[in-house]
């Protein structure tokens, strides 16, 4: 009872002490007065600066992200991709094998000049990675055999021009360093174990120099002067005449502004045999020749093929001509040469008379076989061939043999990329070309080869040189005879569909009956592996996303702040990853050699999605103002959409 009485007394005490608190009458008067003023239409109070913060953040952020999105793809418009690497130079060992010479990481400050010797069975005789003898800003090397089982290689770099003779075992027999100040543009055998080199200087013109088998300069300090091409310089050609001298073809602009294709023959002592300034092979009044080829038959005759280009009629018009010169430089096939094709377009949507890029090879009987790229049927470049007798007669049907029968509905961006030809010694020829393969719509290039009989018939059932499906693109190739009626082909191949990334080197030997001697997929000379850059970016993006999301669900304030910052960074990283796979930067650095394989595409695709996951969770958890999160969300979505369109459509 005492406890109950005490509790009741306490309750009564607190009720007596606690009073009801109400606003004073003065407070009510002020509040009612202000409310009335607003109802009577008085001017509303302006929001403070701090209340405008969402707008001040969201609008500039949207502009910045838009600039990043658009600016990231400016390299694509600027054409920053590196050019395709050149095909390896090849020299026959006259026993079914070959020397291959190529540049590792071409066009780069740390390019390496490499060589490999492959015997007839496909064994690599100079080690697994071949022989490296130069590094730096190395120009494309040239190579010829020394007639004693070895090879002579000439190259230039940013400091000097050099030539070295290597023995069959890869040892250095002799080396000439900085033997000229001019650029090396070509090299042929001199028939005595040495070489004749074609040299060029934009101010001084064209020169030739001969180096003996012992490494002695034979034609004076400056060599033999051929002509001045400081007005026009475009692709000089050099060939041995088979008698210890050489024939050179070049193009220059005449005094009357015609484009003249000129030729000069040099004796074994460096004397010019066809006049002081050479002879005029062709004078192109309406256009200029873009491509040419030259070959000698070893009997004193020289064959020259070229194309002309003109748009005087309002439509592109290119034609291919061939001329035969005797040992004295006299024209044997008329004053203008022989036009190998005079056909018109077959389809109404294809331009007429689009023949270009001639290649020639001797047929072993005093005539030649000519190939060219042709657009008479469709806009894609196809490849045709014609055999011409020693007296200039067309021996094959119509306007050439249709060598590569691609469908009429083939993608119009496809067609022949390059081609080479080699005589088979029996009146026929073996033609190798790079083009886009079946099925229709395939963007990846492939290397093909076909042998034509003396009558122009196809002899090989299979045309694919490297049928290995792991090669997405097969680039440019060089071709030499294997000495037994077949050919040896050296090519650039790669995992990417981009021709500029065909950086690995492969070789294949095909016998006279069309069999792949060095394995069905060819012989690996050097394999360039994809950099792991995009995979590292994707791994870092996923790890960062996991950490931030974990912190958000743990209600960590720092993690909440990162939901607005990290997606922007991941979106930018996603753009970089997409660009690396596309390849507008080429592979200027090792980390940028990223072929567009399925793994690299998936990795680049995951980076913007990691940012998208963060921003979605951030919006749902209200970790930051929506005015900042919505632009970031849109940015990540656009990057993901761009990646999807680029990779999968």
Q: Are residues 242 and 312 in the same domain?
A: no
Q: Are residues 187 and 307 in the same domain?
A: no
pLDDT per position as a tens digit, 197-244: 998 887 778 889 999 999 999 998 888 888 776 444 455 689 998 888
SS3 of 162-228: the string is EEEEECCCCCEEEEECCCCCCEEEEEEECCCCCEEEEEEECCCEEEEEEECCCCCECCCCCCEEEEC
Q: Is 505 inside any structural domain?
A: no
d(CA 154, CA 195): 10
- Exposure class string for 70-87: b at 16+ Cβ within 10 A, else e: eebbebeeeeebbebbbb
Residue 627 φ then ψ, to 5°: -70, -25
Q: Is 336 inside any structural domain?
A: yes
Q: Are residues 312 and 442 in the same domain?
A: yes
CA distances from 268 to 210, 227, 239, 295 (A): 9, 19, 13, 18
Residue 279 in 3-state DSSP?
strand
Asked whether the bond before 439 is cis by omega within 30 degrees of 0, the reply is yes
Q: Are residues 204 and 301 in the same domain?
A: no
Among candidate residues 182, 147, 146, the one with its CA nearest the CA of residue 164 = 146
Q: Are residues 383 and 346 in the same domain?
A: yes
CA distances from 442 to 435, 472, 522 (A): 11, 10, 22
Among candidate residues 462, 460, 456, 466, the one with its CA nearest the CA of residue 489 = 466
Residue 156 in 3-state DSSP?
strand
Q: Are residues 234 and 349 in the same domain?
A: no
d(CA 495, CA 595): 6
pLDDT given for residue 314 in this prediction: 55
- Exposure class string for 236-266: b at 16+ Cβ within 10 A, else e: bbbbbbbebbbbbbbbbeeeeeebbbbbbbb
Q: Are residues 277 and 344 in the same domain?
A: no
Number of structural domains in the chain: 3
Task: Assign residue 395 the CATH number of its domain.
Answer: 2.115.10.20
Q: Is 575 inside any structural domain?
A: yes
Q: Is 19 inside any structural domain?
A: no
**What pTM does this model have?**
0.84
Domain that holds residue 199: 180-282
pLDDT given for residue 75 in this prediction: 60
Question: Which among 464, 481, 508 is the end of a domain?
Answer: 464
Q: Are residues 259 and 334 in the same domain?
A: no
Among candidate residues 473, 587, 571, 471, the one with its CA nearest the CA of residue 520 = 471
H or E stretch including 559?
Answer: helix 557-582
pLDDT per position as a tens digit, 412-439: 556 788 889 999 888 999 999 988 765 5
pLDDT given for residue 293 in this prediction: 92
Question: Which among 226, 254, 282 is the end of a domain?
Answer: 282
Question: Which among 440, 464, 488 is the end of a domain?
Answer: 464
Q: Are residues 341 and 210 in the same domain?
A: no
Q: Are residues 460 and 544 in the same domain?
A: no
Q: Are residues 434 and 332 in the same domain?
A: yes
For the chain, which residues score pLDDT lower than 70? 1-4, 6-25, 27-59, 61, 64, 71-81, 229-236, 256-257, 285-289, 310-316, 343-353, 377-380, 405-414, 437-443, 469, 584-589, 649
Residue 416 burial (CB count, 10 A): 24
pLDDT given for residue 233 in this prediction: 43
């Amino acid at each position: 009872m005492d406890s109950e009485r005490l509790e009741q007394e306490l309750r009564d005490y607190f009720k007596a002490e606690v009073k009801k608190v109400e606003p004073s009458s003065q407070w009510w008067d002020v509040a009612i007065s202000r409310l009335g003023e607003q109802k009577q239409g008085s001017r509303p109070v302006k929001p403070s600066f701090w209340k405008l913060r969402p707008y001040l953040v969201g609008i500039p952020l949207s502009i910045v992200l838009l600039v990043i999105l658009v600016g990231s793809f400016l390299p694509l418009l600027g054409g920053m991709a590196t050019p395709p690497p050149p095909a390896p130079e090849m020299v026959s060992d006259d026993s079914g094998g070959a020397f291959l010479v190529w540049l590792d990481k071409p066009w780069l400050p740390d390019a390496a000049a490499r060589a490999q010797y492959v015997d007839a069975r496909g064994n690599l005789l100079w080690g697994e990675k071949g022989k490296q003898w130069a590094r730096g800003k190395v120009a494309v090397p040239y190579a010829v055999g020394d007639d004693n089982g070895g090879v002579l290689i000439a190259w230039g770099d940013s400091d000097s021009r050099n030539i070295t003779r290597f023995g069959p075992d890869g040892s250095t027999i002799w080396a000439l360093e900085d033997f000229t100040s001019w650029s090396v543009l070509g090299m042929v055998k001199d028939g005595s174990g040495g070489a004749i080199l074609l040299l060029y200087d934009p101010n001084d013109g064209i020169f030739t120099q001969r180096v003996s088998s012992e490494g002695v300069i034979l034609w004076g300090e400056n060599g033999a002067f051929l002509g001045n091409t400081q007005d026009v310089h475009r692709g000089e050609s050099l060939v041995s005449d088979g008698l210890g001298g050489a024939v050179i073809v070049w193009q220059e602009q005449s005094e009357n502004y015609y484009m003249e294709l000129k030729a000069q023959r040099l004796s074994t002592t460096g004397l010019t045999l066809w006049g002081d300034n050479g002879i005029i092979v062709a004078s192109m009044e309406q256009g200029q020749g873009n491509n040419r080829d030259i070959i000698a038959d070893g009997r004193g005759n020289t064959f020259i093929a070229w194309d002309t280009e003109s748009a005087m009629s309002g439509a592109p018009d290119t034609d291919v001509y061939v001329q035969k010169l005797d040992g004295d430089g006299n024209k044997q096939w008329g004053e203008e040469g022989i036009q190998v094709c005079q056909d018109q377009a077959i389809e109404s949507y294809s331009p007429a008379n689009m023949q270009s890029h001639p290649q020639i090879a001797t047929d072993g009987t005093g005539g030649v076989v000519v190939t060219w790229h042709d657009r008479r049927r469709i806009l894609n470049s196809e490849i045709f061939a014609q055999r011409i007798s020693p007296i200039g007669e067309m021996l094959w049907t119509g306007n050439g043999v249709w060598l590569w029968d691609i469908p009429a509905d083939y993608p119009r961006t496809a067609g022949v990329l390059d081609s080479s030809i080699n005589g088979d010694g029996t009146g026929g020829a073996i033609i190798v070309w790079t083009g886009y393969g079946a099925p229709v719509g395939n963007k990846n290039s492939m290397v093909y080869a076909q042998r034509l009989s003396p009558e122009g018939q196809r002899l090989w059932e299979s045309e694919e040189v490297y049928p290995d499906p792991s090669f997405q693109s097969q680039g440019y190739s060089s071709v030499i005879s294997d000495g037994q009626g077949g050919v040896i082909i050296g090519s650039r191949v790669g995992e990417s569909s981009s021709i500029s990334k065909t950086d690995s080197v492969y070789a294949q030997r095909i016998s006279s009956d069309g069999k792949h001697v060095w394995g069905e997929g060819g012989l690996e000379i050097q394999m360039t592996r994809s950099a792991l850059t995009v995979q590292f970016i994707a791994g870092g993006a996923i790890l960062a996303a996991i950490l931030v999301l974990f912190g958000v669900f743990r209600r960590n304030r720092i993690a909440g702040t990162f939901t607005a910052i990290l997606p922007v960074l991941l979106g930018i990283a996603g753009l970089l990853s997409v660009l690396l796979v596309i390849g507008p930067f080429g592979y200027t650095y090792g980390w940028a050699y990223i072929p567009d394989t399925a793994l690299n595409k998936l990795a680049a695709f995951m980076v913007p999605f990691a940012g998208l996951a963060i921003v979605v969770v951030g919006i749902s958890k209200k970790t930051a103002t929506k005015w900042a999160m919505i632009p970031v969300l849109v940015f990540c979505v656009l990057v993901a959409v761009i990646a999807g369109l680029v990779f999968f459509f």
